[in-house]
């Protein structure tokens, strides 16, 4: 199954208005990201751009200043992102309910259960600075797209701020925690990024930016065998021992990672001492020895993994391991990392 | 000791050569060799290839789980991994057949 991108359709040549009409409400309304809706402030703790600017800079914006203009635009974007965390239909339904409640209250001479609350404090109480940082970071070239950096990358700024604030003296003078009977604690800290506005902002930001996910692809078996064959042919033509070592290691890493389902760093844990100790020419299988600390483990540990000598696709695991052991032996290496 | 970057560079160099001679070995979405360095990396490509082959060859999920237990322990971050009691009390170093079934199928 292929998406339009793969078939190289040029969307400008297609009948876009007709397609948009056909999709109707199933497609997201583009205006959602560009405007506030009546009733947004009933769901989002809203402060206008100028108030946020005044909080952050302690003076009104000078629109001749580039920095001020950028900050104003960023705070506007921040509010709009917080708004678009909620669907248009949710906002309008909530507003309609509030209006109905006010009408019902009026029939019995009441003002309604929605009093006017005092304004927000004069300091950055909900992580505006972190949000501004995230938005400005998103404008930088990313690894997947030169025009912006992805949400999953920019959200790390919130983590950095939260780490900082958790370790700050003000959050550690008195420890507030919830403990259960199993001895587990949850420490409570004052963190502006835990505010409702910040939560809504990050939700809206994620909705707006979407996500590009480009996982590493698997190889077909003919491709994998062709790769190993090319590496073997190159190895045969080499005379320099260092270059031979590089290619022998590359072939071993490729073969072992494939045969016993290893990912990146695990392939490098191949242990020469373990391989030497457990290598048996008469055995029906080979033992692949890994040594090291896996992510999440507390200590270095040995993993001995039995592996068939020859796989059904014709990859000779024993031959590859045997060659590595002999090469290392001829270089007087009997222990340490094998790759 | 080799670095992951050096391994990636070598693998990419050869994959690009293979692409130029036999592009049929690559998926149809691979329209140019420029995409190869971002699409194939040592970090996950071989593991993904292995998992795909295991599914294609009909390796049983219990055998895959046993071979995959290293990763299950890793995901548990030092705590007891969330596996069935039967698997929890299985002594991994005495198991042979699941590993041989899996690796033979590769």
ipTM of the complex: 0.84
What local confidence, expressed as pLDDT, does residue A79 receive? Answer: 95
Chain segment B46-78, per-residue pLDDT in tens: 999 999 999 999 988 888 888 876 555 555 444
Tokens 């992510």 belong to residue = A295
Banded pLDDT at B79 (limits 50, 70, 90): low
Chain A residues with beta carbon closer than 8 angstroms to that of B94: none
Residue B52, in any domain of the structure: no
With CA atoms as reference, the chain A residue closest to B10 would be: A250
How many Cα atoms are found within 13 Å in the side-chain-facing hemisphere of A104? Answer: 8
What local confidence, expressed as pLDDT, does residue B82 receive? Answer: 54
Phi-psi label, residue B41: left if phi above 0, alpha if psi -120 to 50, beta otherwise? beta
Residue B96 predicted with pLDDT over 90: no
Out of A246, A258, A295, name the one closest to residue B50 (CB): A258
The model's pTM is: 0.70
CA dihedral angle for residue B89, residue B95, residue B97, residue B103, rounded to 10 degrees:
110
Statement to judge: residues B102 and B63 lie in one domain? yes
Out of B40, B78, B96, name the one closest to residue A219 (CB): B40
What local confidence, expressed as pLDDT, does residue A5 receive? Answer: 45
Statement to judge: residues B37 and B72 lie in one domain? no
Statement to judge: residues B3 and B33 lie in one domain? yes
Residue B54, in any domain of the structure: no
Chain B residues with beta carbon closer than 8 angstroms to that of A315: 106
With CA atoms as reference, the chain B residue closest to A257 would be: B46
Q: Do B18 and A226 touch (CB under 8 A)?
A: yes
Statement to judge: residues B63 and B38 lie in one domain? no
Q: Say yes or no: A281 contacts chain B, CB-CB below 8 A.
A: no
**Contact partners, residue B44, CB within 8 Å, separation at least 6:** A215, A216, A263, A264
With CA atoms as reference, the chain B residue closest to A272 would be: B1
Residue B22, in any domain of the structure: yes
With CA atoms as reference, the chain B residue closest to A303 would be: B93
Q: Do A216 and B43 touch (CB under 8 A)?
A: yes
pLDDT over 90, % of chain B: 26
Q: Do A218 and B51 touch (CB under 8 A)?
A: yes
Q: Which domain holds residue B82?
A: 59-106
State the DSSP H helix or E strand holding residue B85, giving kind and residue range, or none if neither.
helix B85-88
Count CB pairs under 8 A between chains A and B. Answer: 162
CB A154 within 8 Å of CB A137: yes
Distances in Å between the Cα of A250 and the Cα atoms of A44, A254, B44 are 55, 6, 15
Statement to judge: residues B70 and B105 lie in one domain? yes
Out of B7, B15, B38, name the one closest to residue A250 (CB): B7
With CA atoms as reference, the chain A residue closest to B28 would be: A6
Statement to judge: residues B27 and B67 lie in one domain? no
CB A315 within 8 Å of CB B53: no
Residue B20 predicted with pLDDT over 70: yes
Chunk chain A into consecutive blocks of 10 residues (it has 339) and report each block's average pLDDT, rounded to whole numbers. Answer: 43 66 73 89 93 93 93 95 92 96 96 91 93 96 89 94 93 90 90 95 92 86 93 90 91 92 84 86 86 62 84 91 90 84
Q: How many structural domains is chain B composed of?
A: 2
**Contact partners, residue A36, CB within 8 Å, separation at least 6:** A79, A80, A83
Residue B89, in any domain of the structure: yes
Q: Say yes or no: A316 contacts chain B, CB-CB below 8 A.
A: no
Residue B21, in any domain of the structure: yes
Residue B53, in any domain of the structure: no
Chain A residues with beta carbon closer than 8 angstroms to that of B1: 268, 337, 339
Distances in Å between the Cα of A285 and the Cα atoms of A259, A305, A307 are 12, 10, 6
User: B23-29 contacts: CB < 8 A, separation 24 or more?
Assistant: B25/A220, B25/A222, B25/A223, B25/A226, B26/A223, B27/A217, B27/A220, B28/A2, B28/A6, B29/A2, B29/A6
Statement to judge: residues B33 and B68 lie in one domain? no
Rounded to an integer, what distance in angstroms lies between the CA atom of residue B53 and that of residue A307? Answer: 16
Top residue of B27, B38, B46, B73 to mutate, by most chain A CBs within 10 Å, is B46
Rounded to an integer, what distance in angstroms lies between the CA atom of residue A208 and that of residue A188? Answer: 31
Statement to judge: residues B37 and B63 lie in one domain? no
B88 CA: distance to closest CA in chain A (Å): 17
B61 CA: distance to closest CA in chain A (Å): 14
Residue B49, in any domain of the structure: no
With CA atoms as reference, the chain B residue closest to A4 would be: B29
Out of B2, B27, B105, name the one closest to residue A217 (CB): B27
Q: Do A253 and B2 touch (CB under 8 A)?
A: yes
Chain A residues with beta carbon closer than 8 angstroms to that of B53: 221, 258, 313
Rounded to an integer, what distance in angstroms lies between the CA atom of residue A275 and that of residue A161? Answer: 46
Residue B50, in any domain of the structure: no
What local confidence, expressed as pLDDT, does residue B87 receive? Answer: 53
Chain B residues with beta carbon closer than 8 angstroms to that of A261: 47, 50-51, 54, 64, 67-68, 71, 102
What local confidence, expressed as pLDDT, does residue A255 receive? Answer: 93
């Amino acid at each position: 199954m292929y998406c339009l991108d793969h078939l190289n359709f040029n969307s400008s040549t297609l009948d876009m208005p007709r397609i948009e009409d056909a999709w109707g409400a199933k497609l997201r309304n583009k205006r959602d990201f560009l405007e506030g809706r009546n009733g947004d402030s009933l769901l989002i703790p809203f402060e206008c751009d100028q108030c946020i600017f005044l909080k952050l800079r302690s003076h009104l914006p000078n629109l001749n200043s580039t920095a001020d203009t950028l900050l104003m635009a960023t705070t506007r974007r921040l509010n709009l992102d917080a708004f678009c965390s909620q669907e248009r239909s949710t906002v309008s339904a909530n507003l309609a309910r509030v209006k109905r409640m006010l009408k019902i209250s009026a029939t019995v001479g009441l003002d309604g259960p929605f009093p006017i609350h005092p304004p927000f404090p004069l300091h950055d109480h909900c992580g505006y600075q972190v949000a501004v940082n995230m938005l400005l970071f998103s404008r930088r070239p990313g690894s997947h797209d030169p025009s912006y950096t992805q949400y999953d990358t920019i959200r790390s700024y919130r983590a950095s701020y939260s780490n900082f604030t958790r370790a700050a003296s003000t959050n550690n003078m008195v420890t507030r925690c919830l403990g259960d009977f199993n001895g587990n604690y949850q420490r409570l800290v004052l963190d502006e990024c835990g505010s409702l506005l910040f939560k809504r902002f990050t939700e809206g930001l994620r909705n707006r930016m979407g996500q590009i996910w480009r996982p590493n692809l698997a190889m077909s078996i003919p491709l994998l065998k062709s790769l190993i064959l090319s590496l073997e042919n190159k190895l045969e033509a080499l005379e320099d021992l260092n270059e031979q070592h590089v290619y022998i290691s590359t072939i071993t890493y490729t073969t072992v990672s494939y045969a016993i389902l290893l990912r990146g760093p695990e392939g490098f844990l191949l242990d020469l001492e373990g391989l030497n100790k457990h290598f048996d020419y008469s055995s029906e299988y080979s033992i692949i020895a890994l040594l090291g600390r896996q992510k999440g483990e507390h200590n270095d540990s040995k993993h001995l993994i039995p592996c068939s000598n020859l796989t059904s696709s014709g990859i000779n695991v024993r031959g590859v391991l045997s060659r590595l052991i002999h090469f290392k032996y001829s270089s007087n290496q009997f222990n340490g990392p094998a790759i | 000791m080799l670095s992951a970057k050096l391994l990636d560079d070598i693998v990419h160099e050869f994959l690009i050569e293979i692409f130029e001679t036999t592009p049929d070995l690559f998926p149809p979405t691979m329209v140019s060799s420029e995409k190869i360095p971002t699409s194939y990396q040592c970090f996950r490509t071989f593991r993904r290839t292995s998992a795909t082959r295991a599914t294609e060859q009909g390796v049983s999920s219990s055998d895959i789980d046993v071979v995959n237990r290293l990763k299950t322990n890793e995901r548990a971050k030092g705590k007891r991994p969330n596996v069935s009691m039967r698997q929890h009390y299985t002594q991994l170093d005495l198991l042979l057949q699941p590993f041989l079934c899996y690796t033979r199928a590769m």
